[in-house]
A = this chain, B = another copy of it.
């Protein structure tokens, strides 16, 4: 459905760019709601899933907290507390780095890797397509979004 209908907007947007900004925020909120449902059966949030993916990408090499922050989709979320949630569930472990005792090394555990594998098999179709969009279009939007952020 067109954005204007979905948010029941009577007046036109002042520009195509303003509509684009709202459209990105709206579509993101829509995707996020889908992701919450997607990960709920596994007891984690989308951000926690994101952190686990980041750690799997680096495993078996650990990452420090600031590495995780810089790789996260939402840069402003609090890596310390997210990682602590994951640790309490046994999906990651933390170790104070010996060579630089300011930093904390985070590693995904076997249990964490198993969780990701489980999620992947149950969601293997996710992200392989979007209804109504061709691969060419997806590429074009990806390029445009990259340019939009400068």
Given that A17-B128, A23-B145, A28-B24 are known contacts, is A9 also in contact with B57, CB under 8 Å in the complex? yes
CA distance A126 to B17 in the complex (A): 9
Contact B3–A142 (Cβ < 8 Å): yes
Knowing A57-B10, A73-B7, A127-B15 are in contact, say whether A146-B2 is a contact too (CB < 8 A): yes
Would A21 and B57 count as touching, CB distance under 8 A? no
Tell yes or no: A98 within 8 A of B by CB.
Answer: no
Categorize the interface residue count of chain A: 35 or more
* Bound Cα distance from A74 to B11, whole angstroms: 19
Chain A 8-23 near chain B by CB (<8 Å), digits 1 or 0 = 1111001111111111
Does A146 contact B33, Cβ atoms closer than 8 Å?
A: no
- Residues of A that sit less than 8 Å from B by CB: 1-3, 6-11, 14-33, 57-58, 67, 70-76, 126-133, 135, 137-142, 144-150
